[in-house]
Structure 1
C-alpha cells in the first residue's frame, strides 16, 4: 500500500520537533481551556498530564477537539471536578480502568487516573500515542518540547511517519487497537512498521471479540478517511473479513465479463470511486474529466456531510453501503443456459444481510435503514430508463418517495458502482448516459419540489364528501396519486385534482 501523507505541509515542522528548545503553539480556544484546567488543578497535590492523541496532533499541527488528560490520582474525582466546574455532563467510559469523559460544547475531555505516568505510557497502544506533558508546563499558549515525557520514543516515530506498537501484547490486551492501527495509518498517512503488521495478522481474529459499538466507532472514523489502498491493507492483514465475515464468499468470486474485478475487489473499488466522486481523492483508472462532468447540486457537499447520528454522516454510510452493496452476489448466483452469470435478487438479499451486520455492530435503526435502502436500490437509477429513454417524472417522484433521505446518495453510489465495474475499460458512451440520467433525475426532482405546495390541494375529507367515498386505505392511495400527478406537473390546482380523481374513479368503476 502506498502511503499518502495528509500533512506534507508540516514536514519541516515535524522534523524540527526533536529540537528540545522548540515551542509547540496551541490555538487560542484550546489554550484558554487548558489555562482554565491548569488553574482548576493548581492547588492539587496530583499532577495532571496532557497525553496521547492530543500531543500527537499538537506536534502534527492537526486541530483536534479531543483532549486526553491523565492524573496521578483518581480519574473519577478529577472528572467530577471538571464536570462540576464547567457544569458539563460526565460519562463513564471504563470504570474498571478509571476512565471518564466530560463533554463540553466545543471539546471532549477524556480523563483517566494512574499511579505512575511513565508506567501508564508504556502500556499504551502505539509509540506515537505514548507521550505526556505536564499541564503545568503550558504557558501563554505554548508547550516546550523539552517538557514532553517520551519513554518509548514516539517523537522519532512521528518524524519518520511510522506507527509502531509499544509492546508485543498490545493487541491481546485490547483488540480494538487492531482496527485503530489501520485507522491511524489512513488518518495520518503513516506506515505500519513490519512488526506491527505481523502482530495484527497474528491477532486479527480477536477483533470479533470486541463489543460491536466499539468496532462501529473505529469503523466510522476509518470510513471518514480516503487513503488509497487502506482497505486492501485491512483485507491483507486479516481484519476486514473478521469484522465482516459475510464478505468472505465475495473474495475471489468471479463476475460477468464486463466486470474488471471480482466481487470483493469491486466492492472495495466502489468505495474509492465514491471518494473520487465526492472530491476526496482521485480515480486513477480514467481521465479526471469524467469525474468533473458529474452533475452536482449546490447543496451537494452539505448533503453528504449531513449527520445521521452523532458520529455518522451520509458520506460515511454511503461508503459503507458501497462496501456491502454486492454482498449477496455469491448466494444469488445463477448461470443461464448460454453461460451468462446472473445475480438475480442480490440487492434485496444484500439489504437483509447488511441489516444483520449493522445490527451486530450496534448501528442505530436510522443508520441501518439508510444503508439498507442504498443497498436494496443501488441498481434502481439505471433501471428507470426503459429503451434508453430518460426516467419519467412519475418514476422520479416514486424514486424519491421510496428512498427518502437515501435517494441522492444512492444516485452517486450507482455512479461509483459503474466506475468500479469498468475500471480502466470504461465505455465512455455508457458512462455519459448514466451521468445524464443522474443529472436529469436531480434536476427534475428540483422542479417537482417547486410544484408541490406545502398545503394539499385536497384532503381526505374533501374526497369523502365530494365523491361519497368511505374512509379507509383507498383514500390514502388516492391522495398519494394526486401528489404524484402534482409533482409530475399533470395537475396544478384544486379543480384539476377533483377532475383527476373523478377520472380515476370512473376508470375503476
Structure 2
C-alpha cells in the first residue's frame, strides 16, 4: 500500500523516465511488500542508467539526493522526498531485467514489474525464480547458488526476513548458510550490526536464534561459545515472553520497557566477561571483552553503554539480591544500578525457574524484583524529578564550603534522605546538612 504523496511522485518519475525513454522497474522489498499487501515506506527501482536519471529528476524538482554507490554499472542514487520517504534507484545489473533479478538475494525479492504496470494495478510481474510461489509458501530461498558468496550479509538477512515476515528458511538455504557461515567475517561491521539490530528488534526470535546457532552463524558472529545452549535458549525465550507480557510478570507496574533489540543482545553477551564488578569506573564499564567486541562491531556509544550497564546490573542482581530489602538497601540498589536498573531486572528475571503455567505469586524470587521496581518507579524516580531541597550553591552559601568531595558527599546524603522521606522541606534539609558536617568535623578532630 502506497500513500498518495508517494504515488503522485512516482507518476512524476514515470513521466520523467518515459520522456528520457528509460524503462523503470519496481523491484526488491517494494514489490514483495506490495504482493503481501503491506504498507510500503520506501521505493526500490531499477533501470538502465537510472542512478543518473534519478539525479536529474531530483534536480528538476529541487529534491535532496544522496549517492549511495558510485561504482560504475551498479550506481545507486537515493532521492529524498519532501514527506521523508525516498526512492532508491539502482542501475540495472546486466542487459535485461531477468539478469538483474537473478543476482538478488532471495527469490521473494527477485521479482520485477514495470513502474507503469505497478501504478496502473497490473498483474504482469516478471518472476523468473518463482518468488510469488515462495511468498505463498512463506519461504526464504536463495536466488542462486552464489547468492551468499556474493554478499555474506545475506545470511543474516535471511534470518531477519524470517523474523519480520514470519517466514521459514528452506532447508537448502540453511545448509548454504552453514557452509558459508565464516564468510560473515568479510562483511563490514556496520552492516552486520544493522542487520543484527533489525533481527533482534523483531518479536518471537527465539526459535530463529536457536536455528542461527545450529547453522554455526551465531557462533561466527558472537564471542560466546554457549556450552549449555538448551539453558540459554530457555532463558532467551522467557526474556521475549517477559518483553511481550510484562503485566503477567509485574502486574500493575505499567513498565516502559527498554530497547528490546539491545536487551536481547545484552542477554547473549552477558557471560563473556568474568569478575566484571571490578574496575567499574573504567571506560569499558568493567567489561573489557564485551566492550571491545561492541566497539569492533561499530555499535554506537549510547548502545554500548546500554548493553554494558544492563549486563553489569544483571550480574549485580544475580549475586547481590537479598530477601532483606529495607528502604536503605533499596535506595542503594537504585544508586548502584542507575538508569539501567530495569534492563538488569529483566535480564535476571528471565533466568529464574518458572512453573509451566505462570502465576506471578508462585515464584517468591520475583516478589523481590517487584519490590525493587516499586521503590524505583514510585519513590526513587519521582524524588529525582523533584527540586532538590538543598543544592550545591545553597551549601556553599550557607556553610561556606568550597567545591570538594565533602560537598558531593553531603549532597548525596541529602538526596538519599529526600528519597527515603527523612527530610521534607529546605529547613529540614539544612538541619540535616548541619548534622552531617558537624559529624565530619568531629571525625577529623579524632
For the aligned pair, the TM-score class normalised by the smaller chain equals 0.7 to 0.9
Question: How far has the Cα of 1:93 moved from its partner?
Answer: 4.5
- State the partner residue of 1:92: 68
Structure 2 gap ranges (5+): none
Pairing of 1:286-325 with structure 2 (within 5 A):
292-295=248-251, 297-298=253-254, 300=256, 303-304=257-258, 314-325=259-270
Query: In the aligned structure 2, how far is the partner of 1:316 from the partner of 1:437?
Result: 26
Distance verdict in 2 for CA 1:164–1:439, change over 3 Å: same
Question: How far has the Cα of 1:184 moved from its partner?
Answer: 1.4
Pairing of 1:170-185 with structure 2 (within 5 A):
170-185=147-162
- State the partner residue of 2:426: 494
* SS of residue paired to 1:138: helix
Query: In the aligned structure 2, how far is the partner of 1:480 from the partner of 1:464?
Result: 15
Question: How far has the Cα of 1:292 moved from its partner?
Answer: 1.5
Question: How far has the Cα of 1:243 moved from its partner?
Answer: 0.7
- State the partner residue of 2:409: 477
Corresponding position: 1:71 with 2:71? no
- State the partner residue of 2:271: 326
- State the partner residue of 2:374: 443
Corresponding position: 1:369 with 2:345? no
Preserved CA contact (<8 Å) 1:224 1:316: yes
Give the number of aligned pairs: 432
- State the partner residue of 2:212: 234
Deviation string, structure 1 residues 387-430 (Cα, Å, up to 9, x no partner)? x233x434444444444442222222221222xxx366899899
Match of 2:343 among 409, 425, 450: 409
Query: In the aligned structure 2, how far is the partner of 1:182 from the partner of 1:266?
Result: 22
Query: In the aligned structure 1, how far is the partner of 2:215 from the partner of 2:131?
Result: 24
Question: How far has the Cα of 1:194 moved from its partner?
Answer: 2.8
Question: How far has the Cα of 1:433 moved from its partner?
Answer: 2.8
- State the partner residue of 1:266: 231
Query: In the aligned structure 1, how far is the partner of 2:59 from the partner of 2:341?
Result: 42
Deviation string, structure 1 residues 57-112 (Cα, Å, up to 9, x no partner)? 11112223132111221414414633763633525246453123344444243220
- State the partner residue of 1:462: 394
Query: In the aligned structure 2, how far is the partner of 1:375 from the partner of 1:143?
Result: 51
Structure with bigger RCO (C-alpha 8 Å, 6+ apart): 1
Deviation string, structure 1 residues 199-249 (Cα, Å, up to 9, x no partner)? 1111110001111000001101110222441011101111001111x212x
Corresponding position: 1:126 with 2:61? no
Corresponding position: 1:380 with 2:316? yes
Distance verdict in 2 for CA 1:243–1:296, change over 3 Å: farther
Aligned-residue Cα RMSD (Å) equals: 3.1
- State the partner residue of 2:287: 351
Distance verdict in 2 for CA 1:423–1:459, change over 3 Å: closer
Question: How far has the Cα of 1:176 moved from its partner?
Answer: 0.6
Match of 2:131 among 154, 166, 174: 154
- State the partner residue of 1:116: 96
* SS of residue paired to 1:417: coil
Corresponding position: 1:223 with 2:168? no
Preserved CA contact (<8 Å) 1:98 1:112: yes
Query: In the aligned structure 1, how far is the partner of 2:348 from the partner of 2:167?
Result: 32
Structure 1 gap ranges (5+): 1-24, 253-261, 281-289, 305-313, 333-342
Query: In the aligned structure 2, how far is the partner of 1:413 from the partner of 1:40?
Result: 54
Deviation string, structure 1 residues 91-136 (Cα, Å, up to 9, x no partner)? 5246453123344444243220124322111111111110111111
Query: In the aligned structure 2, how far is the partner of 1:145 from the partner of 1:349?
Result: 56
Distance verdict in 2 for CA 1:123–1:451, change over 3 Å: closer
Preserved CA contact (<8 Å) 1:68 1:109: yes
TM-score, normalised via structure 1 length: 0.76
Preserved CA contact (<8 Å) 1:175 1:207: yes
Question: How far has the Cα of 1:377 moved from its partner?
Answer: 1.2
**Most deviating of 343-352 and 74-83:** 343-352
Match of 2:327 among 387, 393, 405: 393
Query: In the aligned structure 2, how far is the partner of 1:80 from the partner of 1:372?
Result: 47
Preserved CA contact (<8 Å) 2:392 2:411: yes
Query: In the aligned structure 2, how far is the partner of 1:345 from the partner of 1:463?
Result: 33
Query: In the aligned structure 1, how far is the partner of 2:406 from the partner of 2:356?
Result: 50
